[in-house]
Amino acid sequence: MREVAIIGASMIKFGRFADRDLAQLGAQAATEALQDAGVEMKAIEALYSGNFYSTSGSGQRVLQQIGQTGIPVVNTANACASGSTAFREAFFAIGSGAYDMVMAVGSEQMGKQGLLGSRGDQATSLEGRVGSYMMPAVFGMAGMEHARQYGTQAEHFAMVAVKNHYHSTQNPLAQYQKEASLDEVMKGRMISYPNTLLMCCPTGDGAAAAILCSMDVARKYTTHPIKVAASVMTSDPYTERDLTLPDVNTLTRNAAKIAYEQAGIGPEDLSQVELHDCFATAELLHYENLGLCNDGEAGKHIASGAPWIGNRIPTKYQEDVAPFQDKSYVPKTKAVVNASGGLLSKGHPLGATGVANIAEIVFHLRGQAGGRQVENSKVGLAHVIGLGSACTIHVLQK
């Protein structure tokens, strides 16, 4: 495999854009990534397009907007990992030597529906009659499994939302840029225990794109290419209750192990992580799954301040967090988690998410992340889980 580099990355502001269509969203992201890379459409040899809900070719529709050059287009659908799956296909296209320069685009237009949108025939639906299969309940129970094992409290999960909403105030591309205190998060409308409204990601529209090329080609365009040091995908291996309660942990642990081996690093080397916080409960589980802290210590880890920008709890929240801190806890890693605001506030247009996470890491590695910049970021990890299940991890290095 050849070394693969990113020379262009973009993410359009996420939100709800009823007056624009999917192709326009994807085209805007694609155009911005091309500009960022300083290359023209005719240099792109193949397009990989991640999208979940569209049944017609999302990638071809982007090309109809920005240039029908006749290149191969591959459309990927892999639930929430649709975008990162497209990126990974682009990675292989370059790594294998098949192409020298390709584009990955992720796009989605969800409006207000989300995964709750498509329901079967009401009379024969299991939902709410034989338990709940909707994402809020699934991730509520995943969090409760951690609570059962380690005594994690609702406040520990809620702190994730406080952190990510705080981070989002410095991200002009985030769908929401509004802070909330621990009390406000806890007293919010309960969606599925223990996740309140502010602990659930919104639905929305958005797109992101990246230009990938071989490292040799990259050096012709930039003195600072970003290296893709690892690209990993796993599905869920058989575990005891996986067919009843989706196991979001084991496949992430498996992917993380391979990613660290590929990149030749350990979790302690990470400057930052963009991980799949579709619900606040999920973020705490992934601290442990990605090795950012030891098993059972995720609650202590968020309360320690380690995953917050600056590796500390902001002064205004210190009093709220203090009762949940363990003063003897020494964080194993200092990777800032979800500096973008995470899916909780940045938004989660499914197909766009996996590429947007990668773009966010690129911005930081280049020192272009503005008020949310992770200081001196050198290595970043982007993690996505699509239920069903698919996990992708990409490690990016300066």
Partner 1 sequence: MADSTTATPEVRPLVKHLTLGPTRDKDFLNGSRCSNCGELYVGPRLFCAKCSAAGSFETVRLGSTGQVYVWTIVYQATPYVKAPYIAAVIDLDGGGSVNANIVGVEPRPDAMKFGMRVKMSTEKVSEDDDGNSYIAYQFQPA
Backbone conformation region of residue 183, classed left if phi is above 0, alpha if psi is from -120 to 50, else beta: alpha
Pick the binder of partner 1 from 46, 137, 284, 359 (CB under 8 A): 137
Nearer to partner 1, 140 or 204 (CB): 140
Q: Tell me: does residue 59 bind partner 1 (CB under 8 A).
A: no
Of the residues 42, 70, 223, 241, which one makes contact with partner 1 according to CB under 8 A:
241
Q: Which is nearer to partner 1, 38 or 151 (CB)?
A: 151
- Closest by CA to 107, choosing from 127, 133, 87, is 87
Q: Which of 18, 55, 70, 119 binds partner 1 (CB under 8 A)?
A: 119
Q: Is 130 exposed, middle or buried (0-12, 13-18, 19+ CB in 10 A)?
A: exposed
Count of CB atoms within 10 A of residue 18's CB? 9
By C-alpha distance, which of 144, 165, 162, 177 is closest to 305? 162
Which residue's CB is nearer to partner 1, number 72 or number 237?
237
With CB under 8 A as the contact rule, which of the stretches 202-210, 240-248, 283-291, 368-376 interacts with partner 1? 240-248
Looking at 81-89, 125-133, 175-183, 282-290, which segment touches partner 1 (CB under 8 A)? 125-133
Query: Strands 272-274 and 336-337: what pairing?
Result: parallel
Among the listed residues 146, 348, 364, 394, the single catalytic one is: 348
Least distance from C-beta 133 to partner 1, angstroms? 7
Least distance to partner 1, CB of residue 324, Å: 17
Q: Is 391 a catalytic residue?
A: no
CB of 209 to partner 1, least distance (A): 33
Q: Is 93 left (phi over 0), alpha (psi -120 to 50) or beta?
A: alpha
| Nearer residue to partner 1 within complex by CB, 172 or 296 | 296
- Which residues ranging from 353 to 392 are in contact with partner 1 (CB under 8 A)? none
Identify which of residues 53 and 139 has a Cβ nearer to partner 1 in the complex. 139
Under the binding rule (CB under 8 A), the answer on residue 150 touching partner 1 is no
Taking CB under 8 A as the criterion, the residue among 41, 71, 79, 134 binding partner 1 is 134
Asked if residue 136 has a cis previous peptide bond (ω within 30° of 0), the answer is: no
Task: Pick one of 26, 95, 194, 267: the residue that binds partner 1 (CB under 8 A).
Answer: 194
**Listed ranges 23-31, 120-128, 345-353, 359-367: which one lies at the site for partner 1 (CB under 8 A):** 120-128
Q: Is residue 299 involved in binding partner 1 (CB under 8 A)?
A: no
Angstrom distance (rounded) from CA 384 to CA 85: 10
Task: Report the nearest approach of partner 1 to the CB of residue 71 (Å).
Answer: 39
CA–CA distance, 280 with 343 (Å, rounded to integer): 9
Determine the residue type at 159: M
State phi, psi for 79 to the nearest 5 degrees.
50, -135
Residue whose CB is less far from partner 1, 19 or 240: 240
On the 0-12 / 13-18 / 19+ scale of CB atoms within 10 A, 334 is: middle
List the 101-109 sheet strands across, edge first.
73-76, 47-50, 101-109, 205-214, 4-11, 226-235, 390-397, 379-386, 272-274, 336-337
Q: By CB under 8 A, which span of 65-73, 76-84, 143-151, 253-261 interacts with partner 1?
A: 143-151
Q: Closer to partner 1 by CB, 144 or 336: give it.
A: 144
Q: Is 251 in the site for partner 1 (CB under 8 A)?
A: no
Rounded-to-integer distance, Cα 283 and Cα 376, Å: 24
Cα separation, 84 vs 384, in Å, equals 7
Min CB(240)–partner 1 separation in Å: 7
Contact between 98 and partner 1 (CB under 8 A)? no
Indicate which single residue of 55, 240, 315, 376 sits in contact with partner 1 (rule: CB under 8 A).
240
Of these, 192, 203, 254, 353, which contacts partner 1 (CB under 8 A)? 192
Specify whether 80 is catalytic.
yes
Closer CB to partner 1, 344 or 374, in the complex: 344
Q: Does 136 bind partner 1 (CB under 8 A)?
A: yes
Other C-beta atoms closer than 10 Å to the C-beta of 392 total 28
Residues catalogued as catalytic: 80, 348
| Binding-site ranges for partner 1 (CB under 8 A) | 116, 119, 121-134, 136-137, 140-141, 144-145, 148, 154, 189-194, 238, 240-241, 243-245
